[in-house]
Chain A
Amino acid sequence: MATVKPRLYEESKEELISGSEAVGIACALADVDVITAYPIRPYDTVMQYVSRLKADGAFDFDFIIAESEHSQFEIVKHASAVGARTFSGSSGVGWFYAFEAITVTAGLRMPVVAMVGNRALDDPGAFGVEHNDAMAVRDLGWHLYWVATAQEALDMALMAWRIAEDPTVLLPFALSCDGSFLTHSQAIVQVPSQDQVDRFLPPYKRGTLQLHPDNPITIAPQVNEDWLMEIRRQTDEAMRRTSAVIRQAHEEFREIFGRGDPSPFIEEFMCEDAEIILVGMGTLAMPTRVAVRRLRAAGKKVGFLRIKFFRPFAAEEVQEALGDAKAVAVIDRDYSYGSPSGGGVLFHELRSTLYPLDKRPLMLNFIAGLGGREVTVDDINMMTETAQKAIDTGKIEQETTWVSVRE
């Protein structure tokens, strides 16, 4: 007595929607089975949207209002174990409240898809975007992707289930969306038709890993030093395998939906022959692109590289994109207190990526836009000037610079 699947979009069409709404529509198109919600700004707009879809009969799923973020993520983890397609999400300290559950979700290889509405880690209270919340899963076996537009949020949500649920991968997927700039800002989005999505996204099948009386397995018995290292290695190999799965999914996505960058991992903007390349993630791509375009018009050889997948990190592609630059200016919307040169997480990742190169560019780090402070075109210009100065003098005066901060 299966219910008839509601069809939200018979035809592909344009909608003026926010990033959160775009992810909510992706949930319906993917026919997610279990969604868990708990309120925290700014991610929870996606939950308000899907609950409305349920109330209106446009999307059939089990909606569980959990009593905490920890339960939110434990519930989807267990729903995923019995074979249900799942979605959850959080922001800032809420994401951290769920951290035990988030950790074991990857350890258990449950392909949960989560939206992180990036938010500063309180205290003191702050609603605005910072990337440290989502960044915390970088070492745990989660896919970690930074979205720049509402269109990309919808597209990547569909990609997320496809990649995470691939039987050769089975690793969860965190879709990072900058708080407010992405979650609450409306843009024109091309919503695909249900048929397109059905062609792209196969059903989630756990096979012999499914917890069911017909398949009476024991999941996560105590292993200790006897087996843990082998199991960690299996997870590592799944993470290595996912790169090929991502490429394949990306190619099919471009074919079926007719859009997408050349690479699923990075976006290169005017990087060709660039002497200075700015690197960043998420919505700061917008002011950065504007600044780069103007600088190019003024004859400066400047480009912008947007890192999309932070995990898996496409080291080779990044090396290729940055290898010929004279200076690389990394914009971090995060920080790592006490880290080498007091820099941000992205900066360290890039320095580590570029270290094996024979000819290494000068590397500068800019901490910007914390707590949701705007990153402006002027800020980007300042970063470019600083990088130019380093090229001209051949030395870096200051590795890490806090941008537009009151001293």
Chain B
Amino acid sequence: MATVQDLPQITGVKNIPVEEFYNSGHRTCQGCESALVMRLMIKAAGQRTIVLGSTGCMYVANTTYYSTPWVVPWMHTQLGSAGSAATGTAAGLASMMRKGKMTQEPINVIAFCGDGGGVDMGLSAISAALQHDEYNLLIICYDNESYANTDIQASGSTPWGANTTFSPTGKDIRIMNTKQKKNMAPMIATGHPNMRFVATACASYGLDFNNKVRRALTIGGPTFIHCIDPCPKGWDYDPKYSHELGMLAIETGLWIQYEITDGELILNGPSRAIAKGIRKRKPVEEYLMRQGRFAHFLPEDIKFFQDKVEETWEKWWIPGLIPITPGQDD
């Protein structure tokens, strides 16, 4: 396994590096949390990093010819290719360094994808990339819960019942999107024995995210972080509430913050307090009713949603992660 950079954990917001490697020049929407994910990610990773970005908001809105915000080397990759981009880049570097065609040094390789590129189209390539323990690479899925770049179409990561341009609320059908959001990070964590680090994150908790990026980049091998990104355009709310909605997603128990290192699970922040019973989960209605995409919900829909959250916390073997319960005989 290739060596890694010295990227110590950051102790407190005052110690976050001041250097910006994701700068002005992008054209993301006001209140875009995904843009913040980009900024925090590369702040934590630093200058000796190559970033690969698959098609989505963080390509189209981010990277316009002649006005790139990226100070580090950056390359576009296809919608379903975050995994392959990371693999190819890491393999190219590793091969040339081993053969003496390039100066030996640990270079961070980070590929990002949206939920469309990661949870849907790119799932198989990401899965394949995460089997390569000979390469150091990090894949970050910035999940704004729809194909937000192309007009807010439902993805495999869109919550049940959400109004999107592919799942509009109509006269006849109130709930068009009957799919449950995929359980992405646990699927990655349980399915890939070669990897050592999987985490969930939210830009509302910036320092936590910074440190997860650094842990991923320094533990070695392939790693994965899944971020929940409130999206003013897709979720339909005033851009100033992005942070607050991110926090609400966690405080209602809908999104759970954790990291899994070598198979060991640690919950972080409010999720940890909820699990320990120190803090009560807020009703999910507080989160849902702040967003236009759920404005059509009737009380029964809110109850359905709340029941699902209850199930996650009360019935699952590992709350929020493993949707399996012990059978009757066990």
Q: Interface on A for B, CB 8 Å cutoff?
A: 1-3, 5, 31, 33-34, 36, 60-62, 64, 66-68, 70-71, 74-84, 86, 100-101, 104, 203, 211-213, 215-223, 226-227
Q: What are 5 of the A-B contact pairs (CB < 8 Å)?
A: A101-B81, A213-B50, A217-B74, A221-B64, A221-B65
User: Across the two chains, which residue of chain A brings its CB closest to B127?
Assistant: A67
Do A211 and B50 have beta carbons less than 8 Å apart?
yes
A71 CA to B68 CA in the complex, in Å? 26
Do B71 and A216 have beta carbons less than 8 Å apart?
yes
User: Across the two chains, which residue of chain B brings its CB closest to A73?
Assistant: B84
User: Across the two chains, which residue of chain A brings its CB closest to B84?
Assistant: A74
User: Across the two chains, which residue of chain B brings its CB closest to A75?
Assistant: B88
Do A61 and B125 have beta carbons less than 8 Å apart?
no
Do B128 and A33 have beta carbons less than 8 Å apart?
no
Contacts of B294 in A (CB 8 A): none
B34 to chain A, nearest CB (A): 16
User: Across the two chains, which residue of chain B brings its CB closest to A82?
Assistant: B92
B49 interface residue (CB < 8 Å to A): yes
Contacts of B128 in A (CB 8 A): 66-67, 71
A32 CA to B52 CA in the complex, in Å? 23
A221 CA to B95 CA in the complex, in Å? 27
**A71 and B52 in contact, given A64-B91, A81-B89, A222-B60 (Cβ under 8 angstroms):** no
Of A71, A203, A212, A221, the contact of B84 (CB 8 Å cutoff): A71
B26 to chain A, nearest CB (A): 11
Of A36, A67, A211, A220, the contact of B89 (CB 8 Å cutoff): A211
Of A82, A100, A221, A227, the contact of B63 (CB 8 Å cutoff): A221
A50 CA to B91 CA in the complex, in Å? 17
Do A60 and B85 have beta carbons less than 8 Å apart?
no
Do A74 and B77 have beta carbons less than 8 Å apart?
yes
Do A78 and B84 have beta carbons less than 8 Å apart?
yes
Contacts of B70 in A (CB 8 A): 216, 218
Of the stretches B99-107, B187-195, B301-309, the one at the interface is B99-107
Contacts of B78 in A (CB 8 A): 70, 74, 100-101, 104
Do A215 and B73 have beta carbons less than 8 Å apart?
yes
Do B50 and A219 have beta carbons less than 8 Å apart?
no
Do A84 and B96 have beta carbons less than 8 Å apart?
yes
What would 10 more interface pairs be, CB under 8 Å, given A33-B92, A67-B128, A213-B48? A2-B100, A31-B99, A71-B81, A74-B88, A78-B89, A83-B96, A203-B101, A218-B70, A221-B63, A222-B65
Contacts of B52 in A (CB 8 A): 78
Of A33, A66, A70, A79, the contact of B99 (CB 8 Å cutoff): A33
- Interface class of chain B by DSSP: mixed
User: Across the two chains, which residue of chain B brings its CB closest to A63?
Assistant: B91
A84 CA to B96 CA in the complex, in Å? 7
B87 interface residue (CB < 8 Å to A): yes
* Residues 83-140 (chain B) with a chain A CB within 8 angstroms: 83-85, 87-89, 91-96, 98-102, 104, 107, 124-125, 127-128, 132
Contacts of B132 in A (CB 8 A): 64
Do A60 and B73 have beta carbons less than 8 Å apart?
no
Contacts of B81 in A (CB 8 A): 70-71, 74, 101
A86 CA to B89 CA in the complex, in Å? 12
Do A218 and B95 have beta carbons less than 8 Å apart?
no
Do A83 and B75 have beta carbons less than 8 Å apart?
no
Do A222 and B95 have beta carbons less than 8 Å apart?
no
Shortest 5 CB-CB contacts between residues of A and residues of B: A2-B100, A78-B88, A79-B92, A84-B92, A74-B84
Q: What is the total number of residues of chain B having a CB less than 8 Å from a CB of chain A?
A: 47
A71 CA to B83 CA in the complex, in Å? 8
Do A219 and B76 have beta carbons less than 8 Å apart?
yes
B10 interface residue (CB < 8 Å to A): no
A203 CA to B101 CA in the complex, in Å? 9
Contacts of A101 in B (CB 8 A): 78, 81, 84
Contacts of A33 in B (CB 8 A): 92, 95-96, 99, 101
Do A1 and B75 have beta carbons less than 8 Å apart?
no
Of B76, B96, B100, the contact of A82 (CB 8 Å cutoff): B96
Of A1, A212, A227, the contact of B50 (CB 8 Å cutoff): A212
B28 interface residue (CB < 8 Å to A): no
User: Across the two chains, which residue of chain A brings its CB closest to B128?
Assistant: A67
A74 CA to B85 CA in the complex, in Å? 6
A66 CA to B100 CA in the complex, in Å? 25
Contacts of A220 in B (CB 8 A): 75-76
B59 interface residue (CB < 8 Å to A): yes
**A83 and B71 in contact, given A75-B91, A227-B65 (Cβ under 8 angstroms):** no
User: Across the two chains, which residue of chain B brings its CB closest to A66?
Assistant: B128
A372 CA to B125 CA in the complex, in Å? 33
B232 interface residue (CB < 8 Å to A): no
A151 to chain B, nearest CB (A): 28
Of B50, B80, B92, the contact of A70 (CB 8 Å cutoff): B80
Contacts of A75 in B (CB 8 A): 84, 87-88, 91
**A213 and B47 in contact, given A33-B96, A226-B65, A227-B65 (Cβ under 8 angstroms):** yes
B118 to chain A, nearest CB (A): 14
B267 interface residue (CB < 8 Å to A): no
**A222 and B64 in contact, given A67-B128, A74-B84 (Cβ under 8 angstroms):** yes
